[in-house]
A = this chain, B = another copy of it.
Amino acid sequence: MVVELSKKVKKIGEDDPRRIAHSFKVGLALTLVSVFYYVTPLFDGFGVSSMWAVLTVVVIMEYTVGGTLSKGLNRAIATLVGGALGVAAHQIAVLCGEKGEPIILGLFVFILAAAATFSRFIPEIKARYDYGVTIFILTFSLVAVSSYRVDELMQLALQRVSTIVVGVATCLCTSIFVFPVWAGEDLHKLVAADLEKLANFLEGLSTEYFAEKGEVENLESKSFLQVYISVLNSKPTEDSLMSLARWEPGHGRFWFRHPWKQYLRIGALSRQCAFSMDALATYITTYPNFMPSSDPDLHLKIRKTCQEMSSESAKALRELSSSIRAMTVPSLASRHASTVVATVRKLEDVLSEGNAMSDVLHLATIASLLTQ
């Protein structure tokens, strides 16, 4: 049990050493922020509220810079708005006298909490401000409710906001300046890697399946048949990375307002491509011996064309992937793609055959990739 666990832990660390760095970053940020508690002059300035700085650090420190930024900004702004509304609600409630105050406050909390919760079902808000709305409800309720007992409301509110700002600033500094993990960069690499995987599949198809003269042995064990599978389920990862990347400031080769949405489009096209590869792979493994043909000459001809087609498609995809990495305009890719088109024509002349469908799809994909 313990050995297994430690092996697993080691593997997680080795897979992505940035995870270890992240763990230490959280520890560092927490320790930094707790200095406010230990150093007497600082403590006297903020009081018990400095507890809120600790809380903020724990809650908003995320793996990527975009995550920390989005949570931090959400939290800071939502706290401000919620706190201000809470104070306003308190002022109104006071007007209603001793007896009416808790009732009015309760009513306010009920209405605002219900409305804000409902707003979380709106997709646009859910995607970008979900956390902010939670914090808004939280701060508003806390301020409105505790205003019934606390006398120096304004001072309390100011202390709390300033400590939260301290917490957010600590997190941002740690996550931007100490081994930053950029969601945008991850997205960029993921999309390029996915295209490369598709290219590997097609290459494997060309060299290990179509190139074989006779029966293909151990087809199911070939690694190229597995390589595209992770692409099928890449959507959730891409979506979340994209929404984080939008929050990030410019860094490295990416400017602020980098067209992150384009990556999602490429991602969607790669997935479509992977779907048809899935169908193709199932077809190949179900009927492993190509088609028992009555005409060996025709058979060879089809096989030859298919091989050429998939190897050219692979080249085009690989070219696209490396041009994404280098952020240049793909020039060679369009040549490969046109070779593919020509080969498809040739194949269509030879015979309209099952495999063509999948490769036509690849083509459509490549073509639309190129138009971007």
Residues of A within 8 A of B (CB): 8-9, 12-13, 19-20, 22-24, 26-28, 30-31, 34-35, 37-38, 43, 48, 51, 54-55, 58-59, 102, 105-106, 109-111, 113-115, 117-118, 121-122, 134, 137-138, 141-142, 145-146, 148-149, 232-233, 235-236, 272, 275-276, 278-279, 282-283, 286-287, 291, 352-354, 357-358, 360-361
Q: How far is the CA of A297 from the CA of B14 in the complex (A)?
A: 63
Copies in the complex: 2
Q: How far is the CB of A181 from chain B (nearest CB, A)?
A: 12
- A59 — which chain B residues lie within 8 A by C-beta? 134, 138
- A232 — which chain B residues lie within 8 A by C-beta? 275
Q: How far is the CA of A137 from the CA of B287 in the complex (A)?
A: 55
Given A113-B26, A114-B27; A51-B142 close (CB under 8 Å): yes
Q: How far is the CA of A276 from the CA of B102 in the complex (A)?
A: 61
Of B51, B58, B121, B134, which one neighbours A146 at CB under 8 angstroms?
Answer: B51
**Closest chain B residue to A278, Cβ basis:** B275
Q: How far is the CB of A270 from chain B (nearest CB, A)?
A: 14
Q: How far is the CB of A157 from chain B (nearest CB, A)?
A: 14
Of B35, B110, B235, B291, which one neighbours A28 at CB under 8 angstroms?
Answer: B110
- A102 — which chain B residues lie within 8 A by C-beta? 38
- A233 — which chain B residues lie within 8 A by C-beta? 235
B27 near A117 with CB under 8 A, answer yes
A357 near B109 with CB under 8 A, answer no
- A38 — which chain B residues lie within 8 A by C-beta? 102, 105-106, 148
B138 near A55 with CB under 8 A, answer yes
Q: How far is the CB of A62 from chain B (nearest CB, A)?
A: 11
Q: How far is the CB of A361 from chain B (nearest CB, A)?
A: 6
Q: What would 12 A/B residue contacts be, using CB atoms closer than 8 Å?
A: A12-B121, A19-B121, A23-B114, A26-B117, A30-B110, A30-B137, A34-B105, A37-B146, A37-B149, A38-B106, A55-B142, A233-B235
